[in-house]
């Protein structure tokens, strides 16, 4: 059992590298040694008990590039014990999912002592990240060699190293072989089939697998809408009753698919174990600062920041600022419409229509550019503001940032459409703008997001290959090349932008669906290629991201549900305004409006009832969860019955002694 031995001999140099740490260029030798010791040291001495090795061990062969790179790995036992400490949930031999413990390891399916595949590589890397982040200061008052990088008991050492810039990055390595396997079943296919979600999860972790799962589910769910929308385009249907049918179907459908997704998501995450995984106690996010004080929850000394002050910042600064930005965005939109009419007037009155015809395009182009600039500036401002709000937890920071960005992007994308629909009441222009916006944004996204970085990455890759080949050393050239290549790859910043894109697409499809039934078809086409380009992006362009366990798509579920509520309102309004329907009620516009409002309310009520009636978890999962709960209650009860018997016996003995 070679593996087990190496677990104990933590200085052994042969191990499978899982994670890379890159130090800053000029870190002092003293700090290097201290960090190496910390990572290698026994748990009881405050270390992480992991394996660490510099990329190139021979001092003479180290280049300035390679000498700051360290490989981190761990023995199999260490990983199994780590799996217990992060609370990993795995499948047992009896096909139930249970929290993994080292003691009960033999009960888990696929486990045997000489099997290294029990934990997926993504899980191993997640465990190592968790152990590194949980490497905490004991008596150290500072990072050795850097008195300004202060520590206090319980502070995460890695986080301090990252915030003080001594560690530039920590990232997990790709596994070229598994990656190739994954790629071949994922996007290098010509046949239509489902994505290998379990494979994606094993390689990239649950958060990313859930994104791809949602993308695929959403695309499939759009197909019925696209199919029903097609004849409207083909036969040029304009009857109001057909529009009403289409819109009603759309609204009910969008509610149903969002509810059904929750169920599918529960099924998937149960199988992956994250549905049962307990949330770990969240650490303060790296950027959080405050006055040292006693945390009322942990009882430890750590930076504190009054939540009242944070509320003040949110409601007195951020909220007004966001409102101002929204107002400004609307103002710019109004200028655009003014410009548009001005250009049309000029063109109309012009004596040289050939010269002025280009003027017709000018406002749209300028507006598109301005919107892009505003979006970027606002994103920057939102990040600054949310960071300034000084949230203690990363999750709170993310939620506040998402909310800010969502609201602004929603307005930026849809305000002009709302204006055309409800102020100008020009359905033809609405349809045209909607088509233009949807299609151009999809094409642009595909290019900017994937193809461009892919091309740049390939160019860079070739350069590195040449450089490595020039280097004649007896180091492990493939690994060396891989690491040098990966360390300069871009970092995947999370699923935020991908979900945002999908969210806006959902808006284009559902908000004005009764005006432009073809939108769903375009969305479906785009998403099929989006799946491939996003997959390419994950596999080729970015550094491998750390796996993040998650049991649902979080705040995005709420965002999509809100969008589907708003789309009930807009679609009812559009149908109410349609000339076809108005022709049916020529004399009684009031009755028409009242009827539309009544239908809208009924649809909204129906939506809420549907959301309430459809259970969030399938029966099957409910039974499995109840079974687990029942078992733990039973165990407690058994333990209790024993205790009752023992306690009463002891009391009896005591009484007898006293009596004697």
Compute the distance between CA of residue 286 and CA of residue 291 in angstroms, rounded to an integer: 15
- State the minimum distance, in angstroms, from the CB of residue 580 to a copy of itself: 19
Does 652 bind a copy of itself (CB under 8 A)? Our answer is: yes
- State the minimum distance, in angstroms, from the CB of residue 74 to a copy of itself: 12
Compute the distance between CA of residue 287 and CA of residue 284 in angstroms, rounded to an integer: 8
Task: Pick out residues in 358-377 that bind a copy of itself (CB under 8 A).
Answer: none
Are residues 374 and 413 in contact, defined by beta-carbon separation less than 8 angstroms? Answer: no
Are residues 608 and 259 in contact, defined by beta-carbon separation less than 8 angstroms? Answer: no
Distances (CA, A) of 622 to 41, 136, 415, 425, 625: 44, 39, 42, 49, 5
Order across the sheet with 19-23: list the strands: 51-54, 69-73, 19-23, 167-172
- State the minimum distance, in angstroms, from the CB of residue 293 to a copy of itself: 14
Are residues 226 and 527 in contact, defined by beta-carbon separation less than 8 angstroms? Answer: no
User: Bridge-partner residues for 91, per DSSP?
Assistant: 97
Q: Which of 18, 31, 35, 49 binds a copy of itself (CB under 8 A)?
A: 49
Are residues 66 and 464 in contact, defined by beta-carbon separation less than 8 angstroms? Answer: no
Q: Which of 165, 629, 635, 638 binds a copy of itself (CB under 8 A)?
A: 629
Q: Total residues contacting a copy of itself (rule CB under 8 A)?
A: 48
- State the minimum distance, in angstroms, from the CB of residue 341 to a copy of itself: 25
- The set of residues, in sequence order, having a beta carbon less than 8 Å from that of 566 and lying 6+ positions away, is 511
Are residues 108 and 93 in contact, defined by beta-carbon separation less than 8 angstroms? Answer: yes
Does 64 bind a copy of itself (CB under 8 A)? Our answer is: no
Helix 496-511 with 427-446: angle, nearest 10 deg: 160
- The set of residues, in sequence order, having a beta carbon less than 8 Å from that of 300 and lying 6+ positions away, is 153, 154, 294
Contact stretch for a copy of itself (CB under 8 A) within 159-167, 473-481, 505-513, 652-660: 652-660
Contact stretch for a copy of itself (CB under 8 A) within 144-152, 204-212, 579-587, 647-655: 647-655
- Within 235-318, residue ranges assigned H as helices are 240-272, 307-312
Compute the distance between CA of residue 77 and CA of residue 119 in angstroms, rounded to an integer: 11
Does 1 bind a copy of itself (CB under 8 A)? Our answer is: yes
Does 660 bind a copy of itself (CB under 8 A)? Our answer is: no
Q: Which of 13, 104, 188, 307 binds a copy of itself (CB under 8 A)?
A: 307
Q: Return the H-helix or E-strand segment holding 492.
A: none
Does 77 bind a copy of itself (CB under 8 A)? Our answer is: yes
Task: Pick out residues in 453-512 that bind a copy of itself (CB under 8 A).
Answer: none
Nearer to a copy of itself, 312 or 645 (CB): 645
x-or-dash pattern for a copy of itself, window 582-621, by CB under 8 A? -------xx--xx--x---x-----------------x--
Nearer to a copy of itself, 180 or 640 (CB): 640
- State the minimum distance, in angstroms, from the CB of residue 586 to a copy of itself: 14
DSSP percent split of the chain into helix, strand, coil, nearest 5: 65, 5, 25
Compute the distance between CA of residue 606 and CA of residue 608 in angstroms, rounded to an integer: 5
- State the minimum distance, in angstroms, from the CB of residue 598 to a copy of itself: 10
Does 5 bind a copy of itself (CB under 8 A)? Our answer is: yes
Contact stretch for a copy of itself (CB under 8 A) within 41-49, 207-215, 360-368, 495-503: 41-49
Does 85 bind a copy of itself (CB under 8 A)? Our answer is: yes
Compute the distance between CA of residue 276 and CA of residue 94 in angstroms, rounded to an integer: 17
Q: Which of 349, 648, 657, 660 binds a copy of itself (CB under 8 A)?
A: 648
Using DSSP's 3-state secondary structure scheme, residue 545 falls into coil
Does 637 bind a copy of itself (CB under 8 A)? Our answer is: yes
Does 37 bind a copy of itself (CB under 8 A)? Our answer is: no
Nearer to a copy of itself, 37 or 640 (CB): 640
Nearer to a copy of itself, 7 or 182 (CB): 7
- State the minimum distance, in angstroms, from the CB of residue 457 to a copy of itself: 40
Nearer to a copy of itself, 411 or 471 (CB): 411
Are residues 290 and 305 in contact, defined by beta-carbon separation less than 8 angstroms? Answer: yes
Q: Which of 81, 225, 427, 581 binds a copy of itself (CB under 8 A)?
A: 81
* Residue that is written with structure tokens 């390679």 in the block: 66
Are residues 66 and 82 in contact, defined by beta-carbon separation less than 8 angstroms? Answer: no
- State the minimum distance, in angstroms, from the CB of residue 311 to a copy of itself: 10
Closest alpha carbon to 161 in 140, 183, 190, 184:
140
- State the minimum distance, in angstroms, from the CB of residue 160 to a copy of itself: 20
Does 84 bind a copy of itself (CB under 8 A)? Our answer is: yes
Structure tokens at 310: 């944070």
- State the minimum distance, in angstroms, from the CB of residue 657 to a copy of itself: 12
Binding site for a copy of itself (CB under 8 A): 1, 4-5, 7-8, 42-44, 49, 77, 81, 84-85, 102-103, 280-281, 296-299, 307, 569, 589-590, 593-594, 597, 601, 619, 623, 626-627, 629-630, 633, 637, 640-641, 643-645, 647-648, 651-652, 655, 658
């Amino acid at each position: 059992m070679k593996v087990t031995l190496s677990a104990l001999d933590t200085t052994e140099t042969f191990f499978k590298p899982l994670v890379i740490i890159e130090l800053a260029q000029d870190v002092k030798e003293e700090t290097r040694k201290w960090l190496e010791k910390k990572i290698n040291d026994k748990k009881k001495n405050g270390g992480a008990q992991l394996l660490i090795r510099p990329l190139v061990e021979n001092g003479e062969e180290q280049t300035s590039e390679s000498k700051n790179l360290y490989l981190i790995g761990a023995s199999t036992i260490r990983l199994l014990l780590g799996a217990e400490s992060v609370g990993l949930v795995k499948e047992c031999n009896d096909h139930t999912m249970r929290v993994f413990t080292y003691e009960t390891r033999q009960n888990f399916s696929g486990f045997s002592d000489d099997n290294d595949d029990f934990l997926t590589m993504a899980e191993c890397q997640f465990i190592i990240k968790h152990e590194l982040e949980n490497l905490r200061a004991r008596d150290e008052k500072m990072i050795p060699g850097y008195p300004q990088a202060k520590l206090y008991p319980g502070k995460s050492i890695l986080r301090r190293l990252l915030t003080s810039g001594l560690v530039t990055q920590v990232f997990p390595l790709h596994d070229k072989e598994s990656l190739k396997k994954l790629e071949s079943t994922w996007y290098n296919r010509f046949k239509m089939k489902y994505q290998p979600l379990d494979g994606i999860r094993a390689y990239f972790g649950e958060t990313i697998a859930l994104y791809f799962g949602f993308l695929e589910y959403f695309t499939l769910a759009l197909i019925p809408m696209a199919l029903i929308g097609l004849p409207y385009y083909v036969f040029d249907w304009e009857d109001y009753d057909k529009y009403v049918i289409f819109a009603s179907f759309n609204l009910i459908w969008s509610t149903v698919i969002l509810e059904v997704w929750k169920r599918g998501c529960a099924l998937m995450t149960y199988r992956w174990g994250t549905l049962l995984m307990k949330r770990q106690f969240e650490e303060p996010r790296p950027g959080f600062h405050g006055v040292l004080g006693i945390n009322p929850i942990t009882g430890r000394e750590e930076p504190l920041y009054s939540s009242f002050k944070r509320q003040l910042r949110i409601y007195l600064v951020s909220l007004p600022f966001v409102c101002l930005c929204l107002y400004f965005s609307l103002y710019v939109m109004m200028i655009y419409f003014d410009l548009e009419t001005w250009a049309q007037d000029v063109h109309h009155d012009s004596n040289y229509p050939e010269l002025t015809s280009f003027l017709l395009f000018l406002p749209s182009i300028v507006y598109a550019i301005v919107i892009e600039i505003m979006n970027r500036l606002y994103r920057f401002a939102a990040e600054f503001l949310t960071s300034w709000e000084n949230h203690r937890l990363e999750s709170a920071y993310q939620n506040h940032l998402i909310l800010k960005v969502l609201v602004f992007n929603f307005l930026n994308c849809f305000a002009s459409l709302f204006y055309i629909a409800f102020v100008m009441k020009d359905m033809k222009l609405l349809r045209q703008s909607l088509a233009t916006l949807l299609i151009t944004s999809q094409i642009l996204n595909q290019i900017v997001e994937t193809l461009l970085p892919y091309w740049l990455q390939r160019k860079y890759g070739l350069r590195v290959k040449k450089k490595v080949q020039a280097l004649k050393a007896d180091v492990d050239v493939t690994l060396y090349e891989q690491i040098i290549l990966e360390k300069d790859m871009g970092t995947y910043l999370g699923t935020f932008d991908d979900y945002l894109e999908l969210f806006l697409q959902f808006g284009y499809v559902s908000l004005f669906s009764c005006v432009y039934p073809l939108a769903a078809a375009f969305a479906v086409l785009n998403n099929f290629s989006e799946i491939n380009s996003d997959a390419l992006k994950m596999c080729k362009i970015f550094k491998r991201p750390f796996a993040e366990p998650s049991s649902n798509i979080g705040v995005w579920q709420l965002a999509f549900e809100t969008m589907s509520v708003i789309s009930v309102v807009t679609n009812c309004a559009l149908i109410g305004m349609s000339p076809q329907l108005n022709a049916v009620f020529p004399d009684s516009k009031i009755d028409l409006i009242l009827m539309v409002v009544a239908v809208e309310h009924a649809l909204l009520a129906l939506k809420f009832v549907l959301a309430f009636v459809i259970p969030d978890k399938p029966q099957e999962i409910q039974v499995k969860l109840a079974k687990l709960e029942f078992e733990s209650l039973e165990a407690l009860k058994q333990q209790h019955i024993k205790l009752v018997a023992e306690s009463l016996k002891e009391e009896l003995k005591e009484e007898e002694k006293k009596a004697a």
